[in-house]
Structure 1
Amino acid sequence: MDLYRKKFAVLDLTHGGIPIVKSLAAAGNEVSGIDVYGTVKPETLLELEEKYGIHCSKNPLPASGFDIIVAPVHLDPAYPMLVEARAQKKDILSHHEIVGEILKNDSRLSGIKTVEVTGVKAKTSASSLLADMLSRHFEVVLHTSRGLEYWKAGISSLIYRGLSITPGSILVAVEKVFEAGLRPDFFIFEISIGGTGTADLGILTTLSPDYGIANNTALASEAKLQLVKLAKAGSILLINVGAKKALKAAKTDKVKVLTFKDPFSGQLSGISDQTADFVLETGSGTSALSVPPELVMPSDLPGPDDLSSSSRPTGLSSSSIGLLDSSRSTGLSSSSMPAGSTELQASPTFSSYGIRFMHRGKEILSASLRPGYNISAYRTAFVAASAAALELGIEPEAIISVIEGFRGLSGRMQEKEMNGISLIDNSNSGMDILSAEKALDYALLKRKDEKKKGIILVLGEEASQVCEGLPPELVQGFVEKFGTKCKQIILVGERMKTVNGKNISYARSLPEGLSKASEFAGGDDIILSSVKCFR
């Protein structure tokens, strides 16, 4: 698409619209930004007008004055400008589509491979694990809800914190990376509700549980299919076998489609192992590794020796938000392998709980897992990241090293201690009421197994705009159904004050909620933190 001398109206400056209008204006277009929700500060709008020449409005403008209307997939289709644009048969692009067009016109990205990850669950975990795996031979930039990170040799450094995972934030992430003087071999982008069509490899983690968007006129699963429908020719799509509508949409000759399945998706779909290219099995014990030669280095992507690696750039904070508790994963490395060997035994020093990774019925690697996190919460991430890493040329030894050194991500079912009290940390931007239920189930099992006494639950939201917030009515239902299983419930967020029940108190923020929880908890209790928040 020609992005020059067009008249654009970009709707919604709150959710990633600002970097889009800036990029379009810089490309020589006449751009108007519509603050649909009226949440952008007046000084920000004034800066857009005076510094960038972008006309801003808090009210709808006549659609007839524009060549192209750009709107997020979650915007109510009844918004006046969209109604007019459809009636006038104007071109309407999603934020994902326009970001894709902007990226295609960015010559700085030439030669850099891109991975995009979308889905309902496991996006951050799968992206982070894949970054660690790829970093064993490549330089990687990872953009997730945890921050913008540079990865090399299993070590992460923080580039920038504070970006969302809206498609528009990708534009900011790219600028921050080049401003830092970095030129990675791979970009990995976690993206909400879809893809931009520029990825060399796209990963769809899950489509369930589905939910309504655009004032409940559409399903999020349909919007996420942008990853499939916009996929560029010659790219690879790695899709959860349980995402049936995505597999149906991916029936095309222009892309390579691979499927994966974890034990949980198998329980949901009832699909046999033989229908998935990659399958994760869980259980105790481990077995030997056998590597099919065709999986070691796909011919259409560069190998580790084909790309040069420079030393770590200066000015980055080492291991600022690293994947592990330590800055480097531990486990088996290729240097410990006998020459010519094709089998690798998992380390016997780790937990006896293990996973087996199958490729079309043949076991290709297995690994033992460390304790300290809820393993079931990472099954989708393990299989998706491992399959992607194999497809992108990473040897199984490196994948095993990452998995066996993994200790969970902060805020994603990680076990910690707080003032000597056991803490299960499940507070993150993707937390929803189903996640809270699963976390409570896990805490109840832990209480039984470790003979703990009570559970102090911290539940709620720090900001209602974080991925559409945590609806108070769902929290009310949760409290009515599960409240008696908890010694005390501390609800976080202004909207939670409408929720009623026994043994309930309120807090304004996650830190305040945790502080109150530590006051209620005794040494034999468990604190469970399930708050929707940016971290």
Structure 2
Amino acid sequence: MNVLIVDMTHGGTILAHEFSKKQNCNVFAWDIYHTLTEEDISQLEIQGIELVDESFYHQLFNEKLPFADDKSEILVVAPVHCKLLHPPHMTHHQAVGYLLKDDINVPIIEITGVKGKTSTAAMLKEIYRDKNPLILSSLGVEVVKDAKGTTLKKDISITPASIITAWRMAQEFYNDKIPGVGVCIFESSLGGTGMADVGIITNIAEDYTIAQGSSSASKAKLQMFESKIVVCDIDSYHEIYYPQPSVSQQSSVSQQSSVSQQSFHQSSPFTPSQLSPGSSTSLHLPVKTANTFSIEKGENDNANVKAHHIHYELHKTSFFVEVTGLKMADGELLNTSFEVSTFAPAQHHLENTLSAITASLSLGTPIESIVKGLGNFRGLLGRTSLLKIGKMTIIEEINPGINVTAVKKAVDMVKNYEKPALILGGSYGVTCEEIDEESLSNFLDHLDDVFLILTGDLGLSLREKMVKNPVYHDKIEMAINHVKNEGLENVLLIYRSNFRELSRR
């Protein structure tokens, strides 16, 4: 078996190492973004992995490459966001599923989405705290044993290959002790591996382009539909993933799918069974079980899980959950209702909560465990949490991928409280997805009922684009002191950054 791993920047070194452990597997690595250090290269060579360049890739499709085992076919593995001349045989997500498919024998929940992934993972951690969960999120790798959490690694990316890292670290932590990991909660960017019992798409708020503009985040996340059950907000499901096509559209989709499958079988030297669990190079309309959620919108809302009679508060929001026709992992349908009280001060927080509830119900988790776990959730330090300074309450929204939609929803929330203020700013380069400054500056120009202070590099750039001339401070501490001196009591702090960077200030 010969494998070419493309992209050493986003987890490719991990995949190359895992493939190199397979018997009779020759591994080639293409550092397409030229980020490997001399030490990285040395480690790959020690493992018998051969570094190649773009010319090697082009030769795959122009001529036969001689190998000692007389087998010239090469399995090309590349991330979904990487634009290549020829589609890969496997994405990085699918490769992780292929490599781990026989290793993990406990329930797996995978989480993707534009926003809310880390918060959803934190809520699921509380729900499954008594089940020895393994959690991979943008905050790190954590195991919870006997209800006590232990961080195994901080500052880890959520590229799909990090799932392998998390699982290997958990194996070492438990060292074959029984019981070990009881459930896996994996946050992953741009899709799923196909291993998940439940795959969550939190939302597609402000879809963005990938692969040099040739694809989008929403299309990449279609990989999550390889999960046994998919959980998705109802708007994204019907508007993006499963629209109700006309008869002519259905015929067109069917023809496109047929052509795509035919093209795959003609061009790929590997059979679909060899590429299991993600055998097709083309992503398709969802045909597996899906459970949707929503904040109730009226009689026409046919989501499986709906929140209604919502009472928002800063510390605890209470609401009722109505469950209709939810498909569970055991094949049964669930119809029930119950009340929940948890930290969800605004609508977008509640949407994250609903994704966690829907996923838990899909796995057949007892309602009592869900209610208890969410009742213990107090927000997420480094993302959304509350800070009290005298009479002033600061609602912290610290997120490397904050976008305009999230800002608008958070501002709508703080407007409902007395003497509100907004401190907004942040840094650049903390995530691949940049914020739409033109749209955000226009929104801020029309913000009249909330006191505004801008801060950081992002705040300075927004100020230059605005018609108004809001207060600016280069340091957050100065901005907070300014708000305090104004006598304002409810402060929304939105800062586009990694929490570890902000915590150093």
Query: Superposition RMSD on alpha carbons, in Å?
Result: 3.2
In structure 2, distance between residues paired with 1:473 and 1:44: 42
Q: Paired residue for 1:468, among 433, 457, 461?
A: 433
How many Å apart are 1:184 and its aligned residue? 0.4
Aligned match for 1:259, one of 272, 288, 291: 291
Match of 2:483 in 1: 521
Match of 1:180 in 2: 173
Equivalent residue letter for 2:111 = V
> Helix, strand or coil: the match of 1:225?
helix
Question: What is the alpha-carbon distance in structure 2 between the residues aligned to residue 422 and residue 57 of structure 1?
Answer: 55
- Select between 142-151 and 428-437 the one with higher mean Cα deviation: 428-437
Structure 2's unaligned 5+ residue stretches are 61-72, 244-283, 326-334, 500-505
Q: Deviations over 1:196-244 (max 9, x none)?
A: 111122222223332222222212111111111x33xxx2223332212
Q: 1:483 to 1:165 in 2, by over 3 A?
A: farther
**Structure 1 Cα separation of the partners of residues 45 and 366 of structure 2:** 52
The residue number in structure 2 matching 1:34 is 30
Distance change >3 Å, CA 476–CA 380, structure 1 → 2: closer
Check 1:367–1:25 CA distance in 2 against 1; reply closer, same or farther (3 A cut).
Answer: same
Which of 338, 346, 360 is equivalent to 1:365?
Answer: 338
Q: Write the letter of the residue equivalent to 1:161.
A: K
Counterpart Cα distance in 2 of 1:61 and 1:98 = 21
Contact 1:139 1:186 in 2 (8 A): yes
Residue 111 of structure 2 corresponds to: 117
1:446-474 deviations in Å (ceiling 9; x for gaps): 3xxx235xx3513133x515142335555
Q: Once superposed, which parts of structure 1, at least 4 consecutive aligned residues long, lie more than 6 Å away?
A: none
Aligned to 1:278: 305
Contact (CA 8 Å) 1:236, 1:258: kept in 2 or not?
yes
Q: How does 1:137-286 map to 2 (within 5 A)?
A: 138-152=131-145, 154-181=147-174, 183-228=180-225, 230-231=226-227, 235-242=228-235, 243-244=237-238, 245-247=240-242, 252=287, 255=288, 257-263=289-295, 267=297, 272-273=300-301, 275-284=302-311
Residue 491 of structure 1 corresponds to which residue in structure 2?
A: 456
CA distance in 2, matches of 1:418, 1:52: 54
Which of 347, 361, 377 lines up with 1:406 in the alignment? 377
Specify whether residues 503 and 44 from structure 1 end up closer, same or farther in structure 2 by C-alpha distance, changes over 3 A only: farther
Cα distance change on mapping 1:394 and 1:176 into 2, 3 Å: same
Deviations 1:14-47 (CA, angstroms, capped at 9, x unpaired):
2222212222223253333333333x25234433
* CA-CA distance at 1:358 after TM superposition: 1.3
Question: 1: distance between equivalents of 2:397 and 2:110?
Answer: 24
Amino acid at match of 1:30: N
- Conserved 8 A contact 1:95-1:168: yes
Spell out, residue by residue over 1:333-375, the C-alpha distance to the aligned partner (whole angstroms, 9 max, x if none).
Answer: xxxxxxxxxxxxxxxxx96x521111228542112346xx514
Shift of 1:50: 3.6
Q: 1:50 to 1:458 in 2, by over 3 A?
A: same
SS of residue matched to 1:170? helix
Aligned in 2, Cα 1:494/1:420: closer, same or farther, shift over 3 Å?
Answer: closer
Q: Deviations over 1:171-218 (max 9, x none)?
A: 111121112226302111111111111112222222333222222221
Please report how far the alpha carbon of residue 483 of structure 1 lies from its aligned counterpart in structure 2 after TM superposition: 8.8
Residues in 1 aligned to 2:444 and 2:174: alpha-carbon distance in whole angstroms: 50
Note if contact 2:9-2:36 (Cα within 8 Å) is conserved in structure 1. Answer: no
**CA distance, structure 2, for counterparts of residue 271 and residue 130 of structure 1:** 30
Matches of 2:139 and 2:309 in 1, distance apart?
A: 27
User: Which residue is 2:328 aligned to?
Assistant: none
Over 3 Å counting, the alpha-carbon distance change for 1:241 and 1:487 in structure 2 is: closer
The correspondence of residues 288-327 of structure 1 with structure 2, limited to 5 A, is: none
Change (3 A) 1:204 1:487: closer
Question: Are 1:394 and 2:365 matched, yes or no?
Answer: yes
Compute the displacement of 1:489 (Å).
0.7
Q: Distance in 2 between matches of 1:271 and 1:196?
A: 36
Aligned to 1:433: 404
CA contact (8 A) 2:17 2:44 kept: no
d(CA) in 2 for partners of 1:238 and 1:517? 40
Contact kept, 8 Å, 2:348 with 2:406, in 1: the verdict is no
Separation in structure 1 between the aligned mates of residue 387 and residue 16 of structure 2, nearest angstrom: 43
Q: 1:442 to 1:188 in 2, by over 3 A?
A: same
Does structure 1 conserve the Cα–Cα contact (< 8 Å) formed by 2:347 and 2:409? no
SS of the residue corresponding to residue 404 of structure 1 reads helix
2:423 maps to which of 439, 454, 457: 457
Counterpart residue type for residue 208 of structure 1: A
Unaligned runs of 5+ in 1: 286-349, 508-512
CA distance in 2, matches of 1:160, 1:414: 22
Q: Percent identity?
A: 24
The question of whether the paired residues in 1 share the 8 Å contact of 2:7 and 2:33 is answered with yes
Describe the superposition over 1:257-312 as per-residue Cα deviations: whole angstroms up to 9, x where unpaired.
2423221xx55xx7724x33222224249xxxxxxxxxxxxxxxxxxxxxxxxxxx
Residue equivalent to 2:350: 379
CA distance in 2 between counterparts of 1:108 and 1:492 reads 45
User: Structure 1 residues 367 and 24, CA, compared in 2 at 3 Å: closer, same or farther?
Assistant: same
Aligned partner (choices 129, 132, 155) of residue 123 of structure 2: 129
Partner residue of 1:300? none
Contact 1:74/1:214 (<8 A) preserved? yes
C-alpha distance in structure 1 between counterparts of 2:48 and 2:461, whole Å: 41
Structure 1 pair 433–128 and aligned structure 2 pair: CA distance change class (3 A): same
Q: State the SS of the aligned residue for 2:195.
A: coil
